A = this chain, B = another copy of it.
Amino acid sequence: MLDVAVAAGVSVATVSAAVNGTAPVSKKLRERIEQAIQEIGYKRNAVARSLKMGTTTTVGLVVADITNPFFTDVVAVIQDVLHRAGYAVMLCCTDESASLQEEQISLLLDRMVDGLIIAAAGDDDGLRRHLRGTNTPVVLIDRLCHDLDADAVVVDNEDAVKSATKYIIDLGHRNIGYISGSLSTSTGRDRLAGYRAALQEAGIEYGDEFVRLGNFRAKDAYTATMQLLTRPDRPSAIFAANNLMVIGVMKAIRDAGLDCPGDISVAGFDDFPWADVFQPNLTTIAQPVQAIGEQAAELILSRVADKKRREPRHIVLKGRLMIRESCRPIMRPR
């Protein structure tokens, strides 16, 4: 910047004013400065600027699994609106590990991100500890954190799973397997609660033996499903609590020599772009990814702009049941 200043024969203050439009600068000088900038190839150093201003125009985004299409969809829209607002996003991935998550958040906080959007992984304690200290705005997405009064945008998981389970029950199923996500996340807990609520409402007794932990991952879901399938009273339907796990469920069904939906019905949380193209067409719960991303981005933007507003805002959106062909009615002896 100093180079530009001498080249244009002005002071650095004038250059700064011209570049940022902070103070009025005569047209003549502005032009000289523009030209000098071109010639020198000057680029403003955002690091120095950040140090002085105490703001980085960067927000940190930490998600549990960047490989999960649901998260990538959300990340894409967040990235899009944040970029439009002049913000960069630093993406971190925690691999569903609480310790990695703490590291990543530290890393982001060190770099003075202006805000943090987090899809929390694992245990809430670490999160709270890390976030309590700072006054960096935080918005939680997808998963809530108990006792942390941050903004959040989530889906009504319980309601969504409840209606999907009800749909399966209405098809005549009674033995319904459930492949659960990690219960240390709010989504894991809420979705399971939806399943139980639907069962209870239908007067079906809940049995622990029908729910198996899949940890939101295809591999774990595979072995969990295998356990279900080898039971003498194997379920006639299975619900998987996220997209990755549905894949594992389907793989297990195939390897067990079974057919979906012929032998067993399947439904899962999260939709796929290809869900209605390949067989069997999967019945799923579609999340409003676009809205989630937009709301999260706007929430963080408004927080950053106005740090004082204190009452946390929770936005809860609805999932949508996409009925396709992977669930089939069952004839029950009467």
Report the separation of the CA atoms of residues A144 and B280 in the bound assembly, to the nearest whole angstrom: 38
Report the separation of the CA atoms of residues A43 and B112 in the bound assembly, to the nearest whole angstrom: 10
User: Could you tell me the distance in whole angstroms from the C-beta of A129 to the nearest C-beta in chain B?
Assistant: 11
Confirm or deny: A277 has a beta carbon within 8 angstroms of a beta carbon on chain B. yes
Contact B279 A279 (CB under 8 A): yes
Q: Please list the residues of chain A having a beta carbon within 8 angstroms of any beta carbon in chain B.
A: 41, 43-48, 50-51, 56, 58, 66-67, 69, 72-73, 75-76, 79-80, 83, 88-93, 95, 103-104, 106-112, 133, 218, 247, 250-251, 254, 273-274, 277-280
Report the separation of the CA atoms of residues A280 and B279 in the bound assembly, to the nearest whole angstrom: 7
Minimum-distance CB pairs A-B, first 4:
A278-B278, A279-B279, A91-B91, A46-B110
Report the separation of the CA atoms of residues A83 and B103 in the bound assembly, to the nearest whole angstrom: 10
Report the separation of the CA atoms of residues A111 and B46 in the bound assembly, to the nearest whole angstrom: 5
Contact B76 A93 (CB under 8 A): yes
Residues of B within 8 A of A45 (CB): 51, 110, 112
Contact A111 B58 (CB under 8 A): yes
User: Could you tell me the distance in whole angstroms from the C-beta of A250 to the nearest C-beta in chain B?
Assistant: 5
Contact A133 B247 (CB under 8 A): no
Tell me the nearest residue of chain B to A246, going by C-beta.
B274
Report the separation of the CA atoms of residues A274 and B93 in the bound assembly, to the nearest whole angstrom: 22
